[in-house]
Amino acid sequence: MIEQRYFELQSYAIFAAMLGIAGLPIYIHAPKFFVDTYGVSLSALGLALFFLRLVDFVQDPLLGKLAESTRKYRVAPVWIAGLVMALGMFGLFAMQAPISPVLWFCLTLSAVFSGFSFLSIRFYAQGVSSFGELGQLRLARWRETGSLLGICLAAIAPTLLLIFSENVFWFYAVMFSGLVFVALLAMQRHWTTFSRSVAEPSSGSILSDPVVRQLLILVVLNTAPVAVSSTLFLFFVESRLLAPNMAGPLLIIFFLTAAVSAPIWTFCANRFGARRILLVAMVSAIISFAYGFFLQTGQVSTFAIICVASGATLGADLAILPAIFARRLASTGARAEIGFGLWNFASKVSLAIAAVIVLPVLDFFGFQPGPENSETGLFALSFGYAALPCALKLLAIWMLLRLQLGQAKT
């Protein structure tokens, strides 16, 4: 039984790695690829991404309902969603756009977005059914580590693939399609597993549970600092540190540290309590990130240390919070697919807000991408990148302290 559960956890890690790889091209690889390949303007891509992000986070609750209603078909909807996502990625990177590049960008990314969101909802909901209330932290240790390793692999893949061919993204799309097939096979028999040690489904709305509502608010507040800093990361490295060539290595340092730290955080949470350890991580994030506000040109080594420290705290956010939410769904018998549809929606609200508000505010204060900027513009960039996330993190800490999670080790 122990060996069977070990291989089940490996399957979850492989599937999570595939989802991690699918997420990164949306934000980093795809826009640059379309600029380089088709000469599409950044403003056109920016509008397209904003529209797609709106569609993406609005459709998540609907996809949650779809995931629940199609669960009776077990593995078939998962294979369909995986095929849609793989075809979207192949069309995005491996096919010449047969129509307007911007329209093709929207169509193919919509396929990737939709398949990714549906699979994420089914995947996390299946974890609730298969591992029950008490197994969520152990599952998160494998699942989130796999996801973060997938993100790291996606970040370095274009550079590594240059060794074999100049047609990097064609190979990227083909290899991703192969990984989708492997991941679906690895999880094949787990989709047929229904609830173990999970209460009977409640007939009431998930949002009628005050703890679920508080957790959804918490994920918005806790995602906001990451959303803001992620939106401004490349600008901060390029314009504040004047080290644009270091953006890639610094991103890899950040995500690798998160991947390494995730299992450590979940081990500590399982031993000392999830809320207590998450609180430690949140306070550590503020301490480690606050110094970024004072960084000046050329302080790349200091910023690398900040990336290590803040990456480690991200590992706690990504591993512990979904486990707490899944544990709550399991303990109350709530419908997990609907719950994680709302969870995805809440997670993406902050990303949409960051995209709509942060960059226009920087523009208002005179910041311009590139090495030449006024002191006012650079101050606004530093404040937005480092000080604002710390303030938002304080709000998340306040909400975490308000949570009433019962007597379990949470």
Say whether pLDDT at 181 is over 90: yes
Is 167 a residue whose pLDDT tops 50?
A: yes
Mean pLDDT of 238-259: 85
Q: Are 315 and 189 in contact (CB under 8 A)?
A: no
How far is residue 85's CA from residue 100's CA, in Å, rounded to a whole number? 21
For the chain, domains (ranges, CATH) are: 2-402 (1.20.1250.20)
Torsion, Cα 52 57 63 64, to 10 degrees, reads 170
- Assess whether pLDDT exceeds 80 at residue 178: yes
Q: Residue 370: its pLDDT value, please?
A: 76
**Which pLDDT belongs to residue 208?**
79
Distance (Å, whole) CA 116 – CA 114: 5
Whose structure tokens read 């999570």? Answer: 16
Lowest-confidence segment of 60-74, 112-126, 141-155, 156-170 by average pLDDT = 156-170
CA angle 173, 177, 178 (to 5 degrees): 120
Contacts made by residues 12-15, CB under 8 angstroms, sequence distance 24+:
12/123, 12/127, 12/139, 12/142, 12/143, 12/146, 12/187, 12/190, 13/142, 13/143, 13/145, 13/146, 14/146, 14/182, 14/183, 14/186, 14/187, 15/123, 15/146, 15/183, 15/184, 15/186, 15/187
Q: Give Cα separations from 404 to 63, 141, 213, 385, 398 (angstroms).
A: 29, 24, 11, 32, 13
Q: Using 50, 70 and 90 to split pLDDT, how confident is the model at 111?
A: very high
Q: Can you give the pLDDT at residue 28?
A: 67
* Per-residue confidence (pLDDT) for residue 87, from 0 to 100: 93
Asked whether residue 382 carries a pLDDT value surpassing 50, the answer given is yes
More confident residue, 264 or 40: 264
Q: What is the pLDDT of residues 339-378, one digit of tens each?
A: 888 888 887 777 767 666 777 787 788 877 778 888 888 8
User: What's the token pair of residue 198?
Assistant: 């999970």
CA–CA gap between residue 389 and residue 374 (Å, rounded): 22
* Rounded percentage of the chain residues whose pLDDT exceeds 70: 90
What's the predicted TM-score (pTM) here? Answer: 0.76
Q: What's the burial of 91, exposed, middle or buried (CB within 10 Å: 0-12/13-18/19+)?
A: buried
How far apart, in whole angstroms, are the C-alpha atoms of residue 303 and residue 305? Answer: 5
**Own/partner pairs for 383-388, CB < 8 Å, 24+ apart?**
383/293, 384/228, 384/232, 384/358, 385/228, 385/229, 385/232, 385/233, 385/235, 385/236, 385/240, 385/292, 385/293, 386/229, 386/289, 386/290, 386/291, 386/292, 386/293, 386/295, 387/290, 387/293, 388/225, 388/228
